[in-house]
Structure 1
Amino acid sequence: MPTALITGASRGLGAQIARQLAPTHDLLLGGRPSPELDHLATELDGASTFAVELTDYDEVAAAVETISELDVLVHNAGVGSSLEHVSDTPVEEWHHVLEVNLVAVAELTRLLLPALRQAEGHVVFVNSGAGRSAKPRWAPYAASKFGLRALADSLRAEEPTLRVTSVYPGRIDTDMQRELVAIEGRDYDASQFLRPESVAAAVVHAVETPADAHPQDIVLRPTGRG
């Protein structure tokens, strides 16, 4: 079977992507070492963990040395931001959000390019609606996602043997979403957000698109009919 590496796989959207790819792919489950990651690997019999801190670049470089061929790389790991106005956002917040959401993604992609080229593989970037439109108090997060969009577009132009897909979901019903809504001071209504299973299905659909077609951008918005 083809091999897929999914970052941020221990819970939420990443775990759903892993579950939906498991029947057709050998899985490498990326994430910080945790009981949740180990449990998912046990649940998905035959899956292996890729338990690294993505911003520890020496650790990542060592971990990818054994990967000689990779069919699918799904960049799902990421962090939110503190939802401050630009005037109140400290430089540490900018560094943290951009490091996790953009720089670490670019470095993992760079390190895995030989394995992806070998397989003529597929890179999927789970972006965000914030990667297409920036709103007040979302500047660091939106900047990281606009940067992720640029990374995907450049990679697609530079690597003609690869397929590169950006997925732009609206807000998703996850633990991180609950935290963001609490920061915004609103009541949480899960029906107003996309289900992780629905976004995962879009990712899997892109991966399973026949090789004669190149799915480049997928935009998902919640309907409120969940």
Structure 2
Amino acid sequence: MYSSRMTVAPVRKRLSREEARAQTRAALLDAAKTLFARQGFEGTSVEQIAEAAGYTRGAFYSNFEDKETLLIALIGRCFDDDLAQIQRLGGNLADVSAGFQQAANIEQELHREAHLLKMEFWMCALRFPAVREAYEGHQARLREGIGTLIEGQFAALHRPLPAPAEQLAAVTVALRNGLDTQKLINPQAVPSDLYALTLHLLMTGSPPATD
């Protein structure tokens, strides 16, 4: 016997104007993130971004003044994600290094796309003054966050810092980025543990102990 109870479909919550706008912006940023990595900022049109996101050109201009404004917003979101990941991995610089390395190994294609996007950010920061100003502001936040980890590492080792923490942070970021570039071009040239090994040498002045 069939039940006399009727199944009521769940009522879908209607998005507020602010929620709908945030959803549209997020979709446009996601689309631009993929397109900029694959074909570059200057090789991507507003129309391509809107189409990939599933919106119209008008929707794009309702959310961003132009493509450069979108790029600046995307840079900010990516740096926010990096800082959040560092905080999730804890306060130990070695753990942060291991966590980033694990992510790179497990999601190689995503890591490649992320690195291509990062390189696009660099090139646009060199070419466009407004992008450079925004990029350097976020880069300073990243150096500060990593610098705090470095200070904690040296304090735990009871060693004085050989240079200001933010300068050492700049070295660790440059090392990570440079090795990533080489590894993505020629994986055999850069062993997976090279970054962790070099970082350990930088922090302790000696190679890590082996079993």
Q: Shorter-chain TM-score: which interval?
A: 0.3 to 0.5
**TM-score (normalizing by structure 2):** 0.34
User: Which structure shows the higher strand fraction?
Assistant: 1
User: Which structure shows the higher helix fraction?
Assistant: 2
Q: Which has the higher contact order (CA 8 A, sep 6+)?
A: 1
Structure number, greater radius of gyration? 2
